[in-house]
Structure 1
């Protein structure tokens, strides 16, 4: 059995879960130049259905948030999963920026 690891794919503007070369999850983001400097807008998180229920989304999101903070960026939680995650983990509160209409305009169209 392979080890599933979180990875940062800046060229694809996402964090992902890698299972032996197969990407089985993603936390999509857009960087935004805001009043707090670089603000990373997390807007969509997915995990392949075959891997659901294993806590992998939380592993990936924790990795993404820690990487974002380490890089000096702030967090904008638009994705419902990321919103719920940061609400349960108070250590991320100092790194959050409230979502604005400008953040939402910066996101790709559905």
Structure 2
């Protein structure tokens, strides 16, 4: 992995994703959809990727943790559809109680966005 100090995470709302960067290069993405839930705004996280050059180095974990922390701090609920986000949550039980359950309308929104 690049120098730890050069790894940053930012929200790119115009592209509906969080990006992890090494310096200026985007090396991973956590894609989301905005959804109006019954209890307020939600971010449905549905796909996470990291460049092959950075796999196995904790980059995806950093990306997901920063994205979830930022989302929760903004008062937006997190809906974990992405398999990687679900796996990360299994390793971090302190976050699980703060997640919104995946409902059929979340899956339909993701499916519709992919068309």
What TM-score comes out, normalization by structure 2 length?
A: 0.89
Any stretches of 5+ residues in structure 2 without a counterpart? none
Write out aligned runs for 1:70-89 (5 A): 70-89=73-92
CA deviation map 1:7-34 (0-9, x unaligned): 1111111001111211110000001101
3-state SS, counterpart of residue 99 of structure 1: coil
Q: Aligned residue pairs: how many?
A: 110
What TM-score comes out, normalization by structure 1 length?
A: 0.93
Structure 1 stretches of 4+ with a deviation exceeding 4 A read: none
Any stretches of 5+ residues in structure 1 without a counterpart? none
Match in the other structure for 1:44? 47
3-state SS, counterpart of residue 31 of structure 1: strand
Instruction: Kindly indicate whether residue 114 of structure 2 is the aligned counterpart of residue 109 of structure 1.
Output: yes
